[in-house]
Structure 1
Amino acid sequence: MTTDSEIIQRSLQQPAAFAELFDRHARAVNAFATYRVGRHAAEDVLSETFLVAFRRRADFDTDIESAMPWLLGIASRLIRRHRALEAKQWKSFAASISRQEHSTLGDLEDAMSRVDAEREVETLKTRIAALAPKDREALLLYAWQGMSYDEVAATAPRARRHRADG
């Protein structure tokens, strides 16, 4: 069995040989990254780790047979950088929120309420469309025209008569 060191040396002349190193260690690097930063970010760390390793393969100490410590060291640095960037983004976000006035937070709440209302309207449209035509007409006369129950009752028979007459 070839050592990681031999694979890396061979990849200097045959870059495609580096894929063997990926096949050998990707699962372990991904597990390490997943444990540290979660599944979604781990995929980025994994690919970036092997990209960095490929670019820096000439710097690998060929006296060391296993590349695993080297790869995990690269992954660790990438994870630290990822976390530092994430922390900076969260601090920036928190600062921008704290600078906003209360009315801006009120605007955000209003916007969220509008989104919730739009969802409910879509649900209501479906339910209203499923009503029998007579019931739908009575509901809309009440809700949209502001008619009382008695006015709706008085309107409904006339509407049926007009349809029958037409």
Structure 2
Amino acid sequence: MELSQRARIRAGDRACFGAVFDEHAPAVYRYAVRVTADRAGAEDVVSLTFLEAWRLRARLRPDGGSLLPWLYGIATNVLRNTARSARRHQAALSRMPAADRVPDFADDLVGRLADADALAAARAALSRLRPAERDVFTLCVWEGLDYAAAAEALGVPVGTVRSRLSRARTRLRAYTNGREPAGRTGQVQGGRADAARSTREIG
């Protein structure tokens, strides 16, 4: 009997893993760009995600459907780690003496992209969410995962995904209306259609 894709990856089949990379790397890259607003940095996130996936292949569940939720979960952890490293790096730079400023032509080029301002604005709004809420929002709304797939990616119950997404929508609406959210909110009725409307509000 032919082995499943998951079984082949668990067994260390490099050709099969290469096919998984070809299929899912664009989605992981898109996710990383939306979270970081940095295309070059997103390429590094993709590389690190698949290196980590190969390292952790023995932990992959032998049963299940698409591998994308598993990869999104790894990418989420990579993004958290790289964000922490970036903060430490920035803190170290802030302690150094000021140097003469040199024009950054890369920044100028990025600034010409049609969606750069919208992406930066969305990321600024999302950065005000709690990390757990931000992870759920980006996976369910931007990447289109359903509650079950997002729960698999993040290793939490489906009910937790629903409540975090509800709180994220409430907070984002408050931020985009120019006010601070009034503490933690309870679960709000509604699904991904409401969440998508929140995305348009910040996009």
TM-score, normalized by length of structure 1?
0.53
| Residue 7 of structure 1 pairs with residue 5 of structure 2 | yes
Q: How many equivalent residue pairs?
A: 99
**Residues 49, 78 of structure 2: 8 Å contact kept:** yes
Structure 1 residues 119-138: aligned runs within 5 Å? none
CA shift, 1:20, in A, is 1.4
Match of 2:93, as an amino acid?
Answer: F
Deviations 1:3-43 (A, max 9, x none): xx922311315322111111111110010011112100111
Report the aligned-residue RMSD: 2.4
| Residue 57 of structure 1 pairs with residue 57 of structure 2 | yes
- Rg larger in 1 or in 2? 1
**Residues 9, 62 of structure 1: 8 Å contact kept:** yes
Q: Give the structure, 1 or 2, with the largest relative contact order (CA under 8 Å, sep 6 or more).
A: 2
Deviations 1:47-102 (A, max 9, x none): 111111112111101222121111011111111111111111111111223xxxxx
Aligned partners of 1:14 and 1:90: how far apart in 2?
40
Report what 2:17 is aligned to: 18
Describe the SS at the equivalent of 1:65: coil
Match of 1:50, as an amino acid?
Answer: F
Aligned partners of 1:10 and 1:86: how far apart in 2?
36
Match of 1:71, as an amino acid?
Answer: L
Stretches (4+) displaced over 6 A = none
Report what 1:31 is aligned to: 30
Consecutive unaligned residues in structure 1, runs of 5 or more: 98-104, 113-166
Consecutive unaligned residues in structure 2, runs of 5 or more: 103-203
The percentage of aligned residue pairs carrying the same residue is 32
**Residues 30, 46 of structure 1: 8 Å contact kept:** yes
TM-score, normalized by length of structure 2?
0.44
Describe the SS at the equivalent of 2:65: coil
